[in-house]
Structure 1
Amino acid sequence: SAAADALRDDGADLVVALSHLGSGDDELVARCDVDLVLGGHVHAERDDVVDGVPIVRPGANGHVVWEVRVAADRIETVRHRTAEYRPDAELVAALEGRVDAAGLDEVLCRIDRPMDRAEETVAAGECRVGNAIADAYRWATGADVGLQNSGGIRSGPPVGPEITHADLVSLVPFEEHLVVADVTGTELLAAFGAARGAEMGFGEPDWWHAHVSGARIVWDDDRNEVVEAFVGGEPLDPEARYTVATSDYLLHSTQEFPAITQAHRGGEFEIQHDALARYAREVGFDAAVEGRIERRSASRADD
């Protein structure tokens, strides 16, 4: 708010907020004197007006570009689908050459059915691709539980039936190490309790944020809490100790699973997507939806 006010005081005719707040853009408009918000973070598109302020968000992966036209008395937005434009041939050739040189086009395994990785699928609850990633983490480390945050899975076209190294890099394209956290049962239950996005500072209120391996979570949407949890097929013991394989990022972030911190670090392994590639070569990269996440509510029962 202070920055926007300072720009107004300096004579700015138009104040534009470049945001990475996702669903927090509405609050930004309420708190700051801005004329336009160019949003991000959440991968769902948005073209909306809140209290007279346009909010534009292009989605993910460059599929859409929004053109903003500013006139003296209005702001207009125009949507462009990049697929309708011809890519630059020299740029395409240069990119393909780099992918080939890095060995990213190597086929690591094949699956019978492609895996959906759309944000609507990944953030809705248990899904095949989330299970496969969590399985790979647990396999690579020998941990009791594999944990992958939904926000760390990048959306895009379905993965498979041929799975390349590039596919796996695109799923978790971060140079983050896979780590193992040593936690108590109480701490693990608290982490599971942060899996739904109602209290999260980004995303949508009904997003599901945790994909797991070696565990099962039963969540009550009406009570907004975990009602049952299992590890290795046994009820989670609050007094026991468990190991959790996840991204190094989650040990530093306080937004998603704050119960697991840097203080719980018990070991460090390879980069996330390197672990996925090794898993794909040696085991394969596929998973079924098998009831690892169960979401209950009275409204679901009525449906």
Structure 2
Amino acid sequence: MSKDTRSGEVVDETRRRLLAAAAGGVTVGALGTGATGGAAAEDDGTLTLVHDTHLHGRFEDAGNEAIDVARYYAVVEEFRGEYPNAAFLGNGDDLAPSVLGLEFEGEHMVEALNEMGPDAVGAGNHEFDFGVDTASERFESSEFPWVIANLLTPEGEPVPGAERWTTVEVGGHTVGVFGMGTTGFYDITDYPDDWRVLGYAEAAEAAVEALESETDFIVCASHVSSGVHETIAAVDGVDAIVGSHSGVVYEEPETIEGTTVAEFGDEFDHIGRLTFDVETGELSDWERVDLYDSEALDEDESPPESTENFTPRDVRSVDRNQPVAEIADGYLSDLEERLGQPVVESEVELNASFDNYEVETGWGNLMTDLMRGVGNLDEEIDVAVQNSGGIRSGSRYGPGELTGSDVMNILPFPNEIVVYELTGEQVRSYLERSVRPMPGDYGAQPAIQVSGVSYEWTGHDGEGQVRNVWIGGEPLDPEETYLVSTNDFVAGRSDEFVEESRVFNSGQFQGPFVKDTLDAEYDTIAPEREERMIRVDEVIEDPTVEGSEGTLTVSFGPTDAVASVVEDTYRLVAPGHGTVAASSVSAGDEVVVELAADAVVEGFDATEADALSLVGGFDPNSEHYGYETEDGEVIELPVNASYDYYELRTSLSADDVRATVGGDDGSDGDDSTDGDDSSDGDDGGDGDDGSYGSDGSDGDDGSDSGGDGGETADDTPGFGPLAGAAGVSGAAYLYEKYGASDGSDERTADE
């Protein structure tokens, strides 16, 4: 659970995740629970499935090394011993993404899984992060079958080294298992464009047709989003679906079209057990084990409570499986020798959790600022953009030392930093297209981190919208060109980044680049949030502006969307030059905001803007927005775990301000500030004194969130080489214009 720091309320994050799953299109009926069973005889007509894997190439939980693969497998072994008719099934994303995955390309996980001996594993998208050839090598070296029914070679054959489906003998029963991967494979991993991806229903029907005559029970080891399970379950003959691409934790198994569906999360926090009556195909009993660490509990925090179907297990009381532990410890020791040394000291907490989908974070600002320093181009890189799914560890770090291993866990993908020349309109298009619905379509998230640019975004109308885009402290010019740094995963999947506009290939993966830059150029860092991405849920038109005795007073009537205002959040934003915090806010029939008049004028002088935004928080009227569950219940807002409130904006014109409080008609603003400690990040530290940022904190109070986000291009990053050589005329011109540095991909017109 996370705590609302403003109200003191405790927010149940599990409930939010379940709402997201329910709103994702799954029509479900809760199953009744049964008593926990004892040891099953081999001829008692039952079948037990133990699931999931989804290990992400890790040997330890991202936030707690005591919750590890050796203890996880020890619990799996207990189930196998208690239920002789048990099959252990995985659902993929086991080889990557993680720093271990990047270093060993999945070889480490195959060795561990061979020791664990799953009966079958459904292949996920991250099995292909290092290319099909490497994936096939890992599949072929596995002593268990990998299955995926809907991915085929151009000739219609299964993925080399894998199978579309398989059969498993469990006691006296034959179990058919087929895998299913997201149809968005081309967008989220390194999967060849000419390979075939079948639709979910088509692949499931083919699997059932091949398996039903020789099996007693058919299971889908799923690596698709939760909402797709309705399509698979509608295929007659599928008895159960376990796992997903989404990492959702269900409170209990569900039925869809008579098919049992169980999703119990990912990595090492949960293990599921489902026991079926084979003759009827019905679920007779189930259990979810939740692993926790008693030594990590707060002083006033109680251990999770056991119920009929939930079994909390303190990992401190679980003995590690020694063969698996020896494998894991060997690789971790090797990794520690390579990357375990500190690279920088952080004075603030660094938020590398999935909050990066929803809000600007200090970590996002830090890494994108560094990306603007890649290479040695003749002109400064104006903007950097990073897909939030590429910030992957799901953890927070510091204050304190940040090691090389920490950085590589945050940025575990083999994604190369590249630089493109885009028009202002293309930059705007990319920012707007990146705003996407939250899972369940109730609200939106920006889904990127940025540097050099600031903008306002909203997403309540079904499509993302951005406004007031500024680059380098000046309004965006749609016809101007800007240098934009990103990674080749983003560039290869975004219409705005075309080959002819590519300026520079750095030849450097993001993780090693950020690690080496921090190590070489900084002793300490303290990145802040800096109003680079401003959420706007409501726009208030035509405020009243008055002034007296050095105070500017702005008043406006709230809309029906506003239940109450959050008084300490109001500020005037001068893009690239900081903010002016309100000195007083009161609310009645009107909202009245007071600001220091001189600071407001300085903000207009610095930006030379015709208008600036006054932004502040409000508690939303949930009835006004009308987001509902499938049962028609109004969803209490905000749902985004990273937000305690929504935000409104009203606009102050320079003419109104100057007419009210006086002041000149603007200046060049080069040396002006508004008295606030914020900056646009460009001057966050040049390395001369070995520091970066200010003494502020990241300010990210939200807990992990972000969800699956559907099967779209930027949701889940992967390895994607550039699509091909740049066009001759465009690329040759750009390389000549901007120059090439060491490590660049220099080209001539003859290539």
TM-score between both structures, scaled by the size of structure 2: 0.36
Listed one character per residue, the Cα deviations across residues 186-219 of structure 1 (whole Å, up to 9, x for unaligned) are 1111100022222x9xx66433311101111201
Displacement of 1:122 in angstroms is 1.8
In the other structure, the counterpart of 2:417 is 178
Partner of 1:233: 473
Aligned position for 2:277: 71
Alignment of 1:16 with 2:219, yes or no, is: yes
Residue 45 of structure 1 deviates from its aligned partner by 3.3
User: SS of 1:194's equivalent?
Assistant: helix
Give the counterpart of 1:220 among 435, 458, 461. Answer: 458
Kindly tell me: are residues 9 and 22 of structure 1, through their superposed partners in 2, closer, same or farther at Cα, counting changes over 3 Å?
closer
2:254 paired with 1:49: yes
Equivalent of 1:144, from 371, 382, 398?
382
Structure 1 residues 164 and 218, CA gap change in structure 2 (3 angstroms): same
Partner of 2:89: none
Higher relative contact order, chain-length normalized (CA < 8 Å, sep 6+)? 1
Once residues 238 and 27 of structure 1 are traced to their aligned partners in structure 2, the CA distance between those partners, rounded to angstroms, is 44
Q: Which residue of 1 aligns with 2:497?
A: 260
1:113 aligns with 2:380: no
Could you say which residue in structure 2 is the equivalent of 1:156? Answer: 394
Of 207, 224, 227, the residue aligned with 2:445 is 207
Distance in 2 separating the partners of 1:246 and 1:63: 33
Which structure has more helix as a fraction of its residues? 1
- Shift of the alpha carbon at 1:13? 4.5
Q: How does 1:268-279 map to 2 (within 5 A)?
A: 268-269=505-506, 270-279=508-517
Residue matched to 2:434: 195
Change (3 A) 1:128 1:217: same
Instruction: Tell me the residue number matched to 1:123.
Output: 357
**Where does the alignment leave 5 or more consecutive residues of structure 1 unmatched?**
none
CA distance in 2: counterparts of 1:290 and 1:204, whole angstroms: 29
User: Contact 2:353/2:391 (CA < 8 Å) preserved in 1?
Assistant: no
Cα distance change of structure 1 residues 61 and 296 upon mapping to structure 2, 3 Å threshold: same
How has the CA–CA distance of structure 1 residues 279 and 78 changed in structure 2, closer, same or farther, with 3 Å as cutoff?
farther
Q: What do the CA deviations read for 1:77-104 (whole angstroms, capped 9, x no partner)?
A: 53334552444442343133211332x1
Task: State the shift of 1:24 in Å.
Answer: 4.2
Q: Contact between 2:382 and 2:482, CA under 8 Å: does it hold in 1?
A: yes
**Per-residue displacement from partner, 1:212-264 (whole Å, max 9, x unpaired)?**
011112012335300221111111111011121111111222xxx44324443
Matched, 1:251 2:488: no
Structure 1 residue identity aligned to 2:373: W
**Per-residue Cα deviation, 1:32-64 (whole angstroms, up to 9, x for no partner):** 554433444434534553624444445454333
1:222/1:2 CA distance change after superposition, 3 Å: closer
Q: 1:79 is aligned with what amino acid?
A: R
1:96 maps to 332
**Mean alpha-carbon deviation: is it higher for 161-170 or for 123-132?**
123-132
> In the comparison of the two structures, how many residue pairs are matched?
295
Q: Is the 8 A contact 1:110 1:162 kept in 2?
A: yes
C-alpha distance 225-63 of structure 1, shift in aligned 2 (>3 A): same
> What SS does the aligned partner of 1:139 have?
coil
Question: Taking structure 1 as reference, are residues 181 and 95 closer, same or farther at Cα in structure 2, changes over 3 Å only?
Answer: same
- AA matched with 1:209: A
Return closer, same or farther for 1:8/1:126 CA change in 2, 3 Å cut-off.
same
Task: Write the distance in 2 (CA, Å) between the matches of 1:111 and 1:241.
Answer: 35
TM-score of the aligned structures, taking structure 1 as reference length: 0.84
Q: Provide the secondary structure at the position in 1 that maps to 2:531.
A: coil
Distance change >3 Å, CA 294–CA 23, structure 1 → 2:
farther
Return the index of the structure with the highest Cα Rg. 2
Q: Deviation of residue 22 (structure 1)?
A: 3.0
Distance in 2 between residues matched to 1:31 and 1:287, nearest whole Å: 50
Shift of 1:170: 0.5
- How much identity, in percent, do the aligned residues show? 25
- Cα 1:180–1:106 change in 2 (3 A) is same
What is aligned with 1:36? 240
